[in-house]
Amino acid sequence: MKLIKPYVKSYGYKFGYSWLDNDLAGKKATPQLIDIFKQENIAFCLMNSLYKPYKDVNAAHMAKLEL
């Protein structure tokens, strides 16, 4: 997380989207990302509700394709 803030700040982003896993690591990282984007006055959107019953977006995609 230490490397994210300077990266986000230097590229001039206006929007941020998070596709983190729906596991403990993803839940732990989410508030940190929210704080970073809030400090930089960048709109931020969590996308993990789109694949909530699954661990991550890849697992949701695999299930959708029945793989």
Count: domains in the chain? 1
Evaluate whether 56 touches 30 at the Cβ level (below 8 Å). Answer: no
Evaluate whether 46 touches 30 at the Cβ level (below 8 Å). Answer: yes
User: Could you list the residue range(s) of the whole structural domain that residue 53 is in?
Assistant: 16-64
pLDDT (tens digit per residue) in 8-47: 888 888 999 999 999 999 999 999 999 999 999 999 999 9
**11 lies in some domain:** no
**38 lies in some domain:** yes
pLDDT at 53: 93
Evaluate whether 20 touches 49 at the Cβ level (below 8 Å). Answer: no
pLDDT at 2: 80
Q: Quick check: 54 pLDDT over 90?
A: yes
**6 lies in some domain:** no
In whole angstroms, what is the distance from residue 10 CA to residue 19 CA? 21
In whole angstroms, what is the distance from residue 18 CA to residue 33 CA? 8
**37 lies in some domain:** yes
pLDDT at 8: 87
